Amino acid sequence: MPTAPWPARSGSLVLRDPRPDEIDELLALRNDPAVNRWMLKTHAEPEAFRREWLAVPDSATDFSCVADLDGRAVGLGFLDVVDGMGQPGMPVGTQAGIGYVLAPDVWGRGLATDLARGLLTAAFDVLGLRRVTAGCYADNHASARVLEKAGMRREQHGVQDSWHAELGWVDGCEYALLAHEWAARRDVGTA
């Protein structure tokens, strides 16, 4: 099993494993309507959520974390190791998808960028992955900006490829970053 990347500091946040006593609080954050507006899955079922988050510290592929600000859980970071596309013989477990949610009362303070950078640091510097992707609705300008500030590049703009419960068919964007790009940014101090 890979080395666990948490706890780790990223900007103002401490990224850490979830604690059993805070699962209900994390579920309330995840199911907050303001948070869910831009999520693909607009509701997390309590028992499935509890099971998934309690399993995170022992998982070989799920390195999701809690974003802690001054002792308060203010967000969730998602880091799932996956296989890329390829023909037989391709190395497995070499890339990840990331995502994040933050409590609405801390939006606009740069914490989402801190969280995204922390996830990228874990993926590349701790887990040794070669590629990380993230997606967002094109109309979610705040999330697109976070991914760009974290150093990711837009690879795809899908026209009406994503369903949004309020808006119908909307455009989606895919962002990515390779390990050597991350290393180059880190070496010049922009990671």
Could you read off the pLDDT of 162-172 as tens digits, one per residue? 999 999 999 99
Q: Specify the CATH number for the domain of residue 55.
A: 3.40.630.30
Q: Where are the alpha helices (DSSP H) in 10-110?
A: 23-30, 33-36, 46-55
More confident residue, 87 or 118: 118
- Residue 179 resides in a domain: yes
Nearest to 158 by CA among 138, 132, 133: 138
DSSP SS3 for 121: helix
DSSP 62: B
Can you give the residue range of the structural domain that contains 150?
A: 8-187
Q: What global pTM score does this model have?
A: 0.94
- pLDDT at residue 147 above 60? yes
Nearest to 64 by CA among 122, 134, 20: 122
Could you read off the pLDDT of 29-73 as tens digits, one per residue? 999 999 989 988 889 999 999 999 999 999 999 999 999 999 999
Q: How many domains does the chain have?
A: 1
